Amino acid sequence: MKRPLATTYTASGTHTWHADTTMFDVVIHGAGGGGGSGVSHTSAGSRIPGPGGGGGGVLFLVEKRLRDLPASIEVVIGSGGAGGATAGSANGSFNPGSSGGETRLGTIATLAGGTGGGIFGATVGGAGAVTLAARGGAGGASGSPGESVNSAPIQHLSGGGGGGSGSASGGASGWNNPSTGAGNAGRNATGVSTWGAYVATGSGGGGGILSSPTGKAGGYPSGGGGGGYQTAIGSAGGPGANGRIVIIEYLEE
pLDDT digits (tens, 9 = 90+) for 188-204: 986 545 544 445 788 99
- pLDDT at residue number 195: 45
Which residues of the chain have a pLDDT value below 50?
A: 192, 195-198
Q: How many CB atoms lie within 10 A of CB 10?
A: 13
> Distance between alpha carbon 251 and the CA centroid of its chain, in Å?
31
- pLDDT at residue number 153: 53
Collapsing DSSP states into helix, strand and coil, what is residue 46?
A: helix
- pLDDT at residue number 192: 47
- pLDDT at residue number 200: 74
- pLDDT at residue number 197: 46
C-alpha 242/C-alpha 244 separation (Å) is 7
pLDDT in tens, 90-135: 999 999 999 999 999 999 999 999 999 999 999 999 999 887 768 8
- pLDDT at residue number 63: 86
- pLDDT at residue number 253: 74
* Residues paired with 173 in a beta bridge: 149, 177
User: What is the pTM (predicted TM-score) of this model?
Assistant: 0.94
